[in-house]
Amino acid sequence: MSQQKFMQNPWSNWMKGEGPDSDIVISTRLRIARNLRQHPFPLLATDSQAEEVVRKVAEVSRSEAMKSRYPVQLLQMDQLSPLEKRVLVEKHLISPHLAEESRKGAVLLSEDESVSIMVNEEDHIRIQVLLPGFQLNEAWEVGTKIDDVFETQLTYAFDEKRGYLTSCPTNVGTGIRASVMLHLPALVMTQQINRILQAINQVGLVVRGIYGEGSEALGNLFQLSNQVTLGMSEADILSNLYSVARQIIEQERVARRYLMEHSRVDLEDRIYRSYGILRYARTMESKEASQRLSDVRLGLDLGLIKNVSHQLLNELLVTTQPGFLQHRAGQKLTPEQRDERRARLIRERLSAH
């Protein structure tokens, strides 16, 4: 796939709308942080030192071990426009940090975009696997195999007592962050979400917004991830996250049944009203679009709306973002122009189904 296709193509593997528990779990992400021994961490590296890391990582990516199983394409951050980098952030393929602050950074992307390997972000290497639905073990299996390929050809910064060494102390140890993106509209509507979020913080997990740390939980989407990487094995981290996510999934399903049994008319009115606005509105802000799409997604999961798909709603979640709209337009747009284009895109895509 060419560089331009990564930008123009709205589809990524995680948007399929398939996989276990896909009515609530939009996607599963696994990230493995690694650094190279005898190389300054990215925050302290010179441009030439950072370029050397990119060269070494790129060499491994071209090895037969990688090409035969996980072929990837290298994109250099300094060769991308700010808008192109924003599109990659909106598709969840790179972090905001890599897009905005990394010097001499790069990303290696698989064709279906399920694998992205960030280079010179906070750490030298951040292997990311992004899959649709609730697939923690499957994501770990892919991620650890890629990690093994790199570890056989590069020397990692590793300490016998502390484990893998990272720029941020919270990643020291296993270096893994696993997360699931959850759609929790019923827990929000029944005002249970704050109680649940408080309980999550007490079991070594954290909840963030749709684009990670510091971002807002738009469209009732929440990222649940592990907070501790030191003193726990990879299996323990994944098991803890799986157990808590499973409980939240069940609580969301209970809340959805409650709303259907006790507030069905109000719920249907909210869902159909949002669907009608999405079908016919001429202007729409990003925040409103996220909320309306969340309502329609809930209606689809409850069997109230039939003629849309999870994949379409996941695509719209990305293609209605400011960066994607402007990249497609080929120019910078005012907020008013973005709102008009966003509404038009949603109308066209919904009317085509």
Q: Cα–Cα distance between 217 and 200 in angstroms, integer?
A: 16
For residue 232 the two structure tokens come to 């726990």
Q: Cα–Cα distance between 271 and 305 in angstroms, integer?
A: 9
Closest alpha carbon to 17 in 346, 348, 297: 297
- Does 110 belong to an annotated binding site? no
- Does 121 belong to an annotated binding site? no
- Does 235 belong to an annotated binding site? no
- Does 209 belong to an annotated binding site? yes
Amino acid at 347: R
Give the DSSP letter of residue 224: E
- Does 257 belong to an annotated binding site? no
- Does 258 belong to an annotated binding site? no
- Does 211 belong to an annotated binding site? yes
For residue 206 the two structure tokens come to 């954290």
The 10 Å CB-count burial string (b at 16+, else e) for 75-106 is bebeebeebbbbbbbbbbbbbebbbeebebbb
- Does 27 belong to an annotated binding site? yes
Closest alpha carbon to 314 in 344, 283, 343, 349: 349
- Does 133 belong to an annotated binding site? no
- Does 29 belong to an annotated binding site? yes
Note whether 119 and 105 are within 8 A (CB).
yes
- Does 31 belong to an annotated binding site? yes
Note whether 240 and 204 are within 8 A (CB).
yes
Q: How many helices (H) and strands (E) does the chain have?
A: 14, 10
Closest alpha carbon to 24 in 227, 180, 210, 205: 180
Amino acid at 237: I
Residue 233: CB atoms within 10 Å: 10
- Does 2 belong to an annotated binding site? no
- Does 299 belong to an annotated binding site? no
Q: How far is CA 324 from CA 181, 268, 332, in A?
A: 21, 31, 11
Residue 176, SS3 per DSSP: strand
- Does 181 belong to an annotated binding site? yes
Binding residues for ATP: 27-31, 92, 126, 177-181, 208-213
Binding residues: 27-31, 92, 126, 177-181, 208-213
